[in-house]
Amino acid sequence: MCGRFAQFSKISVLEEFFEAETFVNTDTPFYNAAPGHELLAVIYRDGKRRMGRLRWGLVPFWAKDEKIGYKMINARIETIDKKTSFKNAFASKRCIIPADGFFEWKKKGSKKKPYYFHSPESNPLAFAGIWESWTRADGSKLFTFSIITTSAKGTARDVHDRMPVILPLSTLSEWLMGKGDAPNDQAGHGNLATSKAFLEKVRITQLNCFAVSQHVNSTKNNDLSCIEEIANV
């Protein structure tokens, strides 16, 4: 799974890197982003990539309680097109989650040791995600997302059996609009099996990795020390 990641690049940097318009004016660095946080995401709408904040933890449009989102932080690629919670968003509400890196924990005896994964070039990563809009009883809207995960390969496989689906920049439009579909005002409604195969084919697996301190274990901690390398002992 992916239960924690970092998103600290400045909005201006992400706007240029992902070629997206943004409606967010305040930089809020997350060195230890956790479910429930309001984080930057890129969607496709009105012929443009647009970047705004969504809450991490998907709340399906039919849900009775928004707390269900804490159980919906990841969508497994193997079942995303079959799960009632995810298949609607997978077909029509796709997004990209910018990330500077992500964390996984490796079991070592009775303990778990945290590791930080990032791009070899230290560029932002593009997580494939899905989003939803949910209406509260008072009529206000809640916008949420889930990160798509798959079996770990490359460096990540030595630490954990799952990892986020990370997309190359050249494939972002295909993902957001639907592979093989014409662009429209949201995402494409393509063949979901084709979309799953597309994600598996193009995903990035080569990442750099190093050990970090137990400081990252607490979601209350949100500072540079969360991503500082320590001796791997």
Q: Which residues are catalytic?
A: 2, 104
DSSP letter assigned to residue 124: P
CB 122 within 8 A of CB 143: no
Alpha helix (H) ranges present in the chain? 11-17, 87-92, 172-177, 192-202
Which residue is it, tokens 């301190």? 213
How are beta strands 111-118 and 5-7 bridged, if at all? unpaired
**Residue 39, beta-bridge partner list:** 54
Whether the CB-CB separation of 215 and 224 falls below 8 Å is answered with no
